[in-house]
Amino acid sequence: MPPPGADHGIGQGKIYHHLLVQGQFQGHGKAFAEVGVVLGRNPDSLVGADNAFVCTRSLPIRKSTEGYLETIPELIAEVRSKNDTNKKIEDKVAAYHRAGVVVVWVPDPATCTLTVYRAAEQPVDLKADDLLTFPDLIPGFQVAVRDLFDS
């Protein structure tokens, strides 16, 4: 796979920043950027998540001998890349939900939108002017969707 572009990296960095400042620094859990997550064993399923957040209730973090997360994050963000198809995104989201991830965010730098996927619920599409919140897992978390992208 080709490496992601600059817009992808900007989105990933901004999401990490907000998860770190509004989540981890406030004592709500631990934020990660570009982290390997073991979704299952036998057969092993390892993914590279752009961002992840593990809530305090799931701490301490469990890691594989290789250093990958074995603790399933409550949140994973996957910044949409130019080569991502809808099917590829849907498959990733489904795999995350099967493993126990509560919420998956899919920000799209090309459209300045973000889709929120929760298991057993319809996806919610947020536009640039919408406010992204996460009150059930990170109280007080909020950021305008447009602030996750290079404008």
Strand duo 45-55 + 113-118: pairing: unpaired
pLDDT score for 82: 84
Per-10-residue mean pLDDT for the chain, 151 residues long? Answer: 79 95 97 95 92 97 95 97 90 96 96 95 97 94 94 63
Fold that domain 6-148 belongs to in CATH: tt1808, chain A (3.90.1570)
pLDDT score for 7: 84
Between the alpha carbon of residue 109 and those of residues 9, 14, 133, 137, 150, the distances in Å are: 10, 12, 19, 25, 8
**Taking the C-alpha atoms of 26, 28, 30 and 34 in order, what is their torsion angle to the nearest 10 degrees?**
-90
pLDDT score for 1: 63
Q: Do the Cβ atoms of 39 and 52 come closer than 8 Å?
A: no
pLDDT score for 15: 96
Give domain limits for the chain: 6-148
pTM, two decimals, is 0.94
Q: Taking the CA of residue 115 as centre, how many other CA atoms within 13 Å lie in the half-sphere pointing to its CB?
A: 14
